[in-house]
Structure 1
Amino acid sequence: MEVKLWRHKYKDSVDAFVEEAFIRRELSDNFCYYNPKYDSIEGAWKWAQDTLAQHAHDKRNPSYSEEIMIAAETKDDLWNAAQRQLVRSGKLHGFLRMYWAKKVLEWHESGPSAALKLALYLNDRYALDGSDPNGFVGVMWSICGVHDQGWAERPVFGKIRCMTYKGCLGKFSVPTFVARYPK
């Protein structure tokens, strides 16, 4: 593989590329091929199903209707910019898709099943990889903990990994990204 020839010089970049292009892709293909419920909470690991059920009725604060989320009119400028990027370009970086889908879980007034349904609908409708194993698993990882482990329990998420705006600020320039996708 050509990219491996550059590992001595760009180890982290080559390793990240191989992880995304081959390992994660194969995990996604296998998950969707061997799991007939790859697009529902019933397709998640038991620990994730249990924790989502236990927190299904937790108060969402804030909570947004599907219409508000689809229109990118939440109070979260990063999420709104991500939604606009998805609609306009058909693409979300994997890290940003995780944040985007986790916020749908956090805000959806009807709980995790409805959040998963909306996130998959939006991903399938707008993303270039919609209806693709990578798209399904990206959303399932975010909302249902697929290919992840349980974390410290917290409201709404239960043991599903949480992502925060503050965490994103430490990863990339949120203001620069938000400025690229104005209303």
Structure 2
Amino acid sequence: VISAAGGAALVVTDVGYTRLQREWRGWLADRLDVPLVQVESEAVIPVGVVSGKQEYAARTIRPKIHRLWHDYLVPLDAHDLRKQTRDWEAGEDVSDPTRLLKTLPIDHSVPPGDEEGGENAAHDLLEDFITRKLDTYDTRRNDPTVDGSSRLSAHLHYGQISPLSAALAAREHGSPGADAFLEELIVRRELSFNLCTYNPHYDRYEGLPAWARATLAEHAGDRREYTYTRAELDAAQTHDPYWNAAQRQMTRTGRMHNYMRMYWGKKILEWTPTPQQAYTEMLWLNNRHEQDGRDPNSYASIGWVLGLHDRPWTRRPIFGTVRYMNAGGLKRKFDIDRYARQWAE
């Protein structure tokens, strides 16, 4: 990047919300001879404009976003930026991506997923979602046995599509499904940006709310009927066929249905000796396999399992007053046995 900036008047990047992204941008800014400008393109509404503090839950950030989003849900001026770019040396031969990938210091035991990445694939997914799924998104998105989600999360994570483009397309189409999609794309997603911006421990157990850590500590010594090692969890070797199916979906495709991810996390809390270890195992498994791992959404979702952005519920063993989930809830909401068959061994 530094060599490519030769002759440039400035370098523009998006805002990074996670610690690693901020470190990358800081490293780059220290080494450039020209200004580095950050543009908040991952959020529809800039985080600091919405709120100057960590928000307690979706219900506290939602009205703040709703007051602002019509000012920001506007199309950008259309420019073909490709005509304004110039060729530059990448420093690496990228003609053979598979060969280049083998040279990187990454965990090569994790296989590639079965979906295509890139800008074109992202926009094809969005078009398919808008025309075929959006009308029923509000009723079908929580059923993992049907293809009812947008599947845009990884593309958003890697900047292959703009959330503004997706939001405008959904709003133009209309329908109750569009309202539900905008809630996920803007309110819930930007709640996770708020978390990473204002909570320095967003990716650690210490970042959970005090009430959740207190109630989990009170029940940390409760008896666990089952306990599993990291290796057993990673290999989907538990007694629970529904949990195993969710884990297999993640390891085979690089994604897990969001509703199943909540159940998946709650069970890890039940099956590990301490809540601190449960958090560690969830984070390790998620970031190892999910295409959008290490994303603010990941940290918010894992934190939610242990009480983040939630409220106290009925007290139970192990969970204390943290929200509980069981297989009975899955059976009431959809055909969980069909899901288990889809991702059978």
Aligned twin of 1:113: 276
Structure with max Cα Rg:
2
CA drift at 1:95? 1.0
- Correspondence for 1:176: 338
1:81-100 map, 5 Å: 81-100=245-264
Following superposition, the deviation at residue 62 of structure 1 comes to 2.1
Q: Residue 124 in 1 paired to residue 287 in 2?
A: yes
Corresponding position of 1:75: 239
Q: Does 1:53 align with 2:220?
A: no
- Alignment partner of 1:170: what SS? helix
Task: Give the total of aligned pairs.
Answer: 178
* Selected match of 1:36 from 200, 220, 233: 200
Identity of aligned residues (%): 43
Cα distance in 2, alignment partners of residues 75 and 15 from structure 1:
38
| 1:153 aligns to 2:315 (yes or no) | yes
Q: 2:223 & 2:230 partners in 1: Cα distance? A: 16
Residue 328 of structure 2, aligned match among 140, 149, 166? 166
Query: What's 1:103 paired with?
Result: 267
Match of 2:113 in 1: none
For 2:184, give the aligned amino acid.
E
Please state whether the residue corresponding to 2:333 is helix, strand or coil.
coil
Q: Deviations over 1:130-160 (max 9, x none)?
A: 1000011111101x21111110111001111
2:170 is aligned to 3
Provide the rounded CA distance (Å) in 2 between the counterparts of 1:15 and 1:56: 40
Residue 4 (structure 1) shift: 2.5
Q: CA deviation at 1:57?
A: 1.4
**TM-score under structure 1 length normalisation:** 0.93
Question: Mean Cα displacement is larger for which, 64-73 or 97-106?
Answer: 64-73
Which stretches of structure 1, 4 residues or longer, exceed 6 Å deviation after superposition? none
Deviation at 1:64, TM superposition (A): 2.1
Equivalent residue for 1:137, pick from 300, 320, 327:
300
Q: Deviation digits for residues 40-92 of structure 1, max 9, x if unmatched?
A: 22101110010111111111112222222121111110000000111110101
Distance in structure 2 (CA, Å) of the matches to 1:54 and 1:177 = 35
Which one-letter code corresponds to 2:180 in the other structure? A
Determine which structure has greater relative contact order: mean sequence separation of CA pairs < 8 Å that are 6+ residues apart, divided by chain length.
1
Bigger helix fraction: 1
| Counterpart among 21, 26, 38 of residue 190 in structure 2 | 26
Residue identity opposite 1:57 in structure 2: G
Secondary structure of the residue aligned to 1:149 is coil
Cα distance in 1, alignment partners of residues 216 and 203 from structure 2: 15
Distance 1:64 1:105 in 2: 11
Work out the CA distance in 2 between the residues paired with 1:22 and 1:138: 15
- CA shift at 1:122, angstroms? 0.3
Q: CA RMSD in A?
A: 1.2
